[in-house]
Structure 1
Amino acid sequence: MTNTPERNILKTLYLDNFRSFQKTKIDFSKITLLTGANSSGKSSIINSILSIVQSEQFPYFLSLNGKYVELGGFEEIARNGKTNNDIEISGEYFTEIWYDRNKYKTSFKTIWEVNTVNDSPKIKELSLENDFLNIKISSKYYENEDGQKRQTYCLSIQAFALGFILKELKKRFQNIPQIKNSKKQKYTKNVISFEDAKFDSLEEMFSDFMDNETNYFMKHINHTIFSTIGYIENKFNFIGSFRYPPQRTYYQKSGSKRKVNFSGEGYVDQLVEWEEKNDIKMTKLKDTLIDLELATDIKSHKLKGGRFELKLKTSEKSFQSSLSDVGFGLSQFLPIIVADLQLGSNSLLAVSQPEIHLHPKVQANFANYLTKQINENNKQYIIESHSEYLINRIRLLIAEGELSTNDVKVYYLEKVANTSILHEVNFEKDGRITGAPDSFFDTYMMDVMNIAIAATE
């Protein structure tokens, strides 16, 4: 059994007929930059990930609308709105298993068709594999004796290293009609497996079999699967491009255990809680603001009626000012840093347009922050950005040896005939850019960086 304790969470993603993507594979690294023109597909990549993470029972179900994103119905995510085309979302990720602190790779493939009753995705084919289990669901249509079109589902499972199989469990299993009639049944000390257990509907498969309280085996299987998605959800967050503006004062809320949400809501409550508890994360937040040259201090100031205001010093010699009175970019950037500190090490943060309202120098310094975090805390980032300052600083960090070329994946997206085309852009050790289409250079100003790198040679 192979464990990989230092691997990042998300390894690959494959999209077909999802939004504007067709047969597209995305490889992720420690820092993955998604660049390109508006409406080219950058957000759709992140949204596909968000739909997985917000689905508590993935890969059996896919929630298009939830805590991270609202995508509508099947028609809204189907390429060109064609609901007769199946959608594929597949990939690989590394997570802990609920009873093991090591990281293991899980590969999954899901194909979804439209549920005509409620316009939601319905699983058509599924395969999921890791060191502990292999599960497959397939479906096919047939005509019954009355000439009506029907759909049947087949379930195959191979579970390894269970440690022991009770005789009573085997007896119960063999008494389930679908299992009794399945192919290639195997029951040993370390393996339970069967192939093509047939069900007349998904409801029968899930309600009568998988969710049956007496089915200890499937409870174990599902707990293992859902714990991997639960691990990702605990170690993941997303901050969108629209973040709430600062307020003059805030009401104090105690005992908040929620993450900062996609619009930045909740970061102030978390900040104050860290301050009151003298949490080391408050110190890390202040150090980060200093490193980014955004502020030298931040603290809350209590007012009457359970209200408070956030006070900052933008330099050592400046007076404390309300968050509402300093640059707007600071209030837009704070949720990102607080959300990242909440997650801790071995985590994945996705951010859409972190550069909004930020001074160019801070945009560039954000690349240094990302570099420090991946090197010291094994973090992973997916950044959707238009910032040439961020892009150029990453190039410079690679040229200076602070970042490895393997640490960074850069993609430039453009849309051609309603299809998103993904170009992998390579930043070489000497600062050269390879693999980029001409439109990449038309969009981003690389000349200044080219001159700077040439001057160091």
Structure 2
Amino acid sequence: MIKHLQLKNLKAWRDSGSVRLAPVTMLLGSNSSGKSTLLQSLLLLKQTAAAPDRTLHLNLGGDEANDLVSLGDFDAVLAHGAAPRQFEIVLEFERPEGERVRHGRFACSYGQTASGAVVVLALSLSTVARQFRAVRRERGAYAVWVDDEPRPRGKGPQLAPERSMAFSAEAIALLGPDGAHLQDLSLALRRELEAIVYLGPLRQRPARDQVWSKGMSGAVGAEGQQAINALLSDALQPGAGQGAVLRSVSAALQRMGLADRIEVRQLGRSSRYELLVHKDGVDANLRDVGVGVAQVLPVLTVAYCVPPGSTVLLEEPEIHLHPLAQAVLAELFAEVSQQRQVQFLVETHSEHLFRRMQTLLARRQTTTAHCQMLFVERQGANAVLVPLEVDEFGTVRNWPPRFFGDALGEAREQARARAQRMREAAGG
């Protein structure tokens, strides 16, 4: 699980400070406030770790088929007026390894070469007891440092970091017995990034039917394009737990009032299948029901099919849902994170989702340690993060004014207008 995140000079963030990320973290704020950049920074690292070119320092995107995010070039990412011209990403994580939990910290600052490429200026990988650093020197050479030793273990261009998070084979060999410890730490970080799953705000419209690829992958895709295949795999692949995801998604849809259940049905004797939605005694193809069902289906599918230990990044999971369904989403995030050990980082504009999370706190169905609510606002050109102070009764002590509108003010204005019209009617 990712425990803390910090951004410096990255887009609108001069310095986010160390942001605590809970098992369920909700990001709220106005449009273009900087919320998405917090999630994008993790996606940058994830797609860099997956890059086929191990000498790449940071993959800012551009490959629409494979990249999760595309942020342009160095100048587009660097905060306006940043001096010196460099930005930094820091994250802390915990990852179970057998009987113990590995605590790791990654910190990397990036600059620009004369040719315009993004380059690592300084990389630090550390645990509670050990620290390994690679620092860029002149002409592309790097010095490798261990702990607080007064001198570097070695210098040279062959010691350049790989994919932002790994030391080169030459650096590992140089460190001798310490190299194995560093390799374990790099591997734990890589697995943490590989465990990130992203579902964006724009989900593809589902096909009326499709061929089951017979794969076991539970990936739904950044636009939810593989959600139906993930459900087909769950329902049709023999083995322990067959159909468990489909049943869980059905139960969630029922709680939301969107469907009684869903069902996978083969079309004749062909290899094509459709997803049926049962509601009030009527069964219909997923394509023929309200768009809200199709839009939330990837959200529910990813929640129940990702492996334990995953971190799920969700943007606007509530789109096209009625208020009750949005509120139930909050319950599902709290429950699934506890039951399946899945972390949810949710960017949302939903008042109903947020209010239900407050209610869960008041009911003691979750805790402030398990659920973190963050508000992002702009102060001039800079993004500022405000952790909302929520007590055990769900009351927010430092709620930013008028973000969800002014419900009491609207009610007062309606009463004033009603009284005015009544006076006018009586006078006439």
TM-score (norm 1): 0.77
2:207 aligned partner, one-letter code: Q
Say which is worse superposed, 47-56 or 253-262, in terms of deviation: 253-262
**Which deviates further from its counterpart, 338-347 or 215-224?**
215-224
Which stretch of the first structure deviates more once superposed, 332-341 or 218-227?
218-227
- In 2, Cα distance between equivalents of 1:325 and 1:385: 27
Per-residue deviation at 1:157? 3.0
Partner of 2:68: 68
Shift of the alpha carbon at 1:62? Answer: 2.7
Question: Hey, what's the Cα distance between the residues in 2 that align with 1:59 and 1:204?
Answer: 11
Summarize the Cα distance change of 1:256–1:401 in structure 2 as closer, same or farther, 3 Å threshold: closer
Equivalences for residues 38-77 of structure 1 within 5 A: 38-56=31-49, 61-65=57-61, 67-77=67-77
Question: Are the counterparts in 1 of residues 109 and 121 from structure 2 also a CA contact under 8 Å?
Answer: yes
**CA distance in 2: counterparts of 1:248 and 1:214, whole angstroms:** 52
Q: For the Cα contact (< 8 Å) 1:249–1:310, is it kept in 2?
A: yes
The offset of 1:279, in angstroms, is 3.6
Contact 1:152 1:198 in 2 (8 A): no
Per the TM alignment, residue 131 of structure 1 is displaced from its structure 2 partner at its CA by 5.2
CA distance, structure 2, for counterparts of residue 291 and residue 345 of structure 1: 23
- The residue identity in structure 2 corresponding to 1:311 is L
Structure 1 alignment gaps of length 5 or more: 1-8, 142-149, 159-182, 185-193, 449-457
Secondary structure of 1:367's counterpart equals: helix
Of 166, 181, 197, the residue aligned with 2:153 is 197
Report the equivalent of 1:157: 146
Q: In structure 2, what is the equivalent of residue 78 of structure 1?
A: 78
User: Partner of 1:155: helix, strand, or coil?
Assistant: strand
Partner deviation per Cα, 1:277-303 (whole Å, 9 max, x = no partner): 334222222222223332222122223
Give the C-alpha shift of residue 138 in structure 1: 2.0
Q: Is the alpha carbon distance of 1:334 and 1:198 closer, same or farther for their aligned partners in structure 2, counting shifts above 3 Å? A: same
**The residue matched to 1:80 in structure 2 has which SS?**
coil
Contact persistence 2:315–2:347 (CA under 8 A)? yes
- Cα displacement (A) at 1:86: 0.8
Query: 2: distance between equivalents of 1:284 and 1:445?
Result: 37
Task: Provide the rounded CA distance (Å) in 2 between the counterparts of 1:230 and 1:151.
Answer: 24
Residue 295 (str. 1) matches residue 292 (str. 2): no
Other-structure match for 1:16? 8
2:385 matched residue in structure 1: 422
1:413 aligns with 2:376: yes
Q: Are the aligned partners of 2:196 and 2:311 in contact in 1 as well (CA < 8 Å)?
A: yes
Deviation at 1:367, TM superposition (A): 0.9
| Residues 55, 161 of structure 2: 8 Å contact kept | no
| CA shift digits 1:301-349 (9 cap, x unpaired) | 22365332211112xx321101011110111111111112222333321
Secondary structure in structure 2 of the residue aligned to 1:283? helix
Q: Is the 8 A contact 1:423 1:436 kept in 2?
A: no
CA deviations on 1:404-454 (whole Å, 9 max, x unpaired) are 12222211112222111111212222332212332xx34356769xxxxxx
Instruction: Classify 1:366/1:340 alpha carbon distance in 2 versus 1 (closer, same or farther; 3 Å).
Output: same
Cα distance 1:214–1:11, how it changes in 2: closer, same or farther (>3 A)?
A: closer
Matched, 1:325 2:318: no
* In 1, Cα distance between equivalents of 2:141 and 2:172: 24
Give distance in 2, aligned partners of 1:361 and 1:114. Answer: 49
1:350–1:445: structure 2 CA closer, same or farther, 3 Å change rule? farther
Change (3 A) 1:16 1:205: closer
SS in 2 for 1:295: coil
> What is the correspondence of 1:31-430 to structure 2 with a 5 Å cutoff?
31-56=24-49, 61-65=57-61, 67-80=67-80, 85-97=85-97, 100-117=98-115, 119-130=116-127, 133-141=130-138, 150=139, 152-157=141-146, 195-201=151-157, 203-205=158-160, 210-212=168-170, 215=173, 220-221=180-181, 223-255=183-215, 257=217, 259-277=219-237, 278-303=242-267, 306-314=271-279, 317-430=280-393
Kindly provide the amino acid, as one letter, of the partner of residue 107 in structure 2: K
Does the Cα contact within 8 Å between 2:218 and 2:306 map onto a contact in 1?
no
**Equivalent position SS for 1:405:** coil
Structure 2 residue ranges without an equivalent (≥5): 410-428
Partners of 1:108 and 1:135 in 2: CA distance: 10
Report if aligned partners of 1:413, 1:423 keep a CA contact under 8 Å in 2: yes
Give 1:356 deviation, angstroms: 0.6
Question: Any idea what SS the aligned residue of 1:426 has?
Answer: coil
Secondary structure in structure 1 of the residue aligned to 2:198: strand
Deviation at 1:44, TM superposition (A): 0.4
Q: Is the contact made by 1:256 and 1:269 (CA closer than 8 Å) also made in structure 2?
A: no
Deviation at residue 79 of structure 1 after TM alignment: 0.7
Contact 1:16–1:24 (Cα < 8 Å) also in 2? yes
TM-score for both structures, normalised by structure 2? 0.82
For 1:245, give the aligned amino acid. Answer: R
SS at the partner of 2:10? coil
CA deviation vs aligned residue, 1:28-66 (integer Å, no higher than 9, x gap): 112111111111001000000111222228998332225
* Counterpart contact for 2:6–2:16, Cα < 8 Å: yes
Count of matched residue positions in the alignment of Structure 1 and Structure 2: 390
